[in-house]
Amino acid sequence: MSRARNDSRREFLRKSLSGAAFLCAGGAAQALAVPETTAAGTRSKVVVARDEQLRGSGAVVDAQLIRALLDRAMQALTKRDRAIDAWRKIIQPGETVGLKVNTLGGKGISTNVQLVEAVCERLQEAGIRPGAIVVWDRDSAELERAGFRIETGNERVRCFGTDRAGYEDELSAYGSVGSRVSKILTQYCNVLINLPVLKDHDGAGVTIALKNMYGAIHNPNKYHPNGCNPYVADLNMLPEIRTKMRLTICDATTAIYEGGPGYKPEHCWNANALLVSTDPVALDQTGWQMIERKRAQMGMKTLAAEERAPSYIVTAADDEHRLGNCDPKRISIVEV
């Protein structure tokens, strides 16, 4: 809310640098500021923030407008009047934060750079030093193709793929999953903020929050059979993921309702929205229904009719996993 309205990327980086000098990274994890939403009986909130004018008169998302949209969403999620207070409810000064983006789809359908910049700004205002923020995905080249600039220095917001950091040597296992986890997740951050994209997925039905964690392990190709079920749910049970996952901000500025997860311009639409929640299951359930509504609008079959309904969402909410709520009756959707 207090940012100048026309911050350029250069200014953003300059400000990132300016805040880099004194805080030390790697502090112990603070107590969660937001209650976990996985216990049975808890209602989950999903904020859907929209701005139909998000692109102004141009084709790309406007940096200031998306920052304002992010602020609205975070304030609604946390019931705070100021953006900085909203972030301080999520993040504690001194924490190290990983922003897991999704860049598989190149510039066409990846997490928006302007959105990530806005998140980084707000994190710094909330007391996170620039070098304690890592924007990451599986592969540096994919990050670059999506418009991110690789930055490995210790004083700026860092941005690189697991190809630069490597995977842990030891396996982490739960249920059907046994994987080596990205060292970015295990060694560079104690808080995980998930920044997926709202996408159709030819095998899994949809790929939003939970499935975005496929980009955190060395062997995602092994977990696509059976519509990724129960693999997605099992993967999100790995302690490296579950204990660090704090918030999901789904980029639905541009979304894809058919032919995903790759970029298919003919099936993309400007949803001009962000979905924000501390419950990734509820967020996935909500995002799935947005895709279904768009498919219906376009005269397409439901995912269930195509035998690819995302059954992993139900698994993630079951008594074994309890990663969140998928029952619409227990999800409060707040439109702002």
Q: Footprint of another protein on this chain (CB under 8 A)?
A: 104, 106, 139, 141, 163, 167, 171, 173, 178, 202-203, 218-219, 221-222, 224-225, 259, 261-262, 264
**Host H or E run for residue 291:** helix 280-297
Give least dist CB 221 to another protein, A: 4
Residue type, 65: L
Give least dist CB 316 to another protein, A: 21
Give least dist CB 288 to another protein, A: 19
Give least dist CB 164 to another protein, A: 9
* Crossing angle of helices 113-125 and 63-78, rounded to 10°: 50
30 or 219: whose CB is closer to another protein?
219
DSSP reduced 3-state for 225:
helix
What the block records as the tokens of 224 is 């696509």
Give least dist CB 315 to another protein, A: 17
Give least dist CB 132 to another protein, A: 26
- 201 neighbors 295 (Cβ within 8 angstroms): no
- Distance from the Cα of residue 212 to its chain's centroid: 7
| Helical ranges in 27-154 per DSSP H | 63-78, 83-90, 113-125, 140-145
**Which of 88, 129, 48 has its CA nearest to residue 335?**
48
141 or 304: whose CB is closer to another protein?
141
**Which of 250, 255, 232, 253 has its CA nearest to residue 323?**
232
* Crossing angle of helices 9-18 and 113-125, rounded to 10°: 30
- Distance from the Cα of residue 279 to its chain's centroid: 11
Alpha carbons within 13 angstroms on the beta-carbon side of residue 223 total 27
What the block records as the tokens of 220 is 């995602």
Residue 53 — φ and ψ, nearest 5°? -100, 20
DSSP 141-166: HHHHHTT---B--SSS-EEEEHHHH-
Give least dist CB 213 to another protein, A: 17
27 or 175: whose CB is closer to another protein?
175
Task: Count Cβ atoms within 10 A of the Cβ of residue 144 and give its class: 0-12 exposed, 13-18 middle, 19 or more buried.
Answer: middle
Give least dist CB 223 to another protein, A: 9
CA dihedral (203, 256, 210, 156) in degrees, to 10, reads 130
Give least dist CB 202 to another protein, A: 6
21 or 173: whose CB is closer to another protein?
173
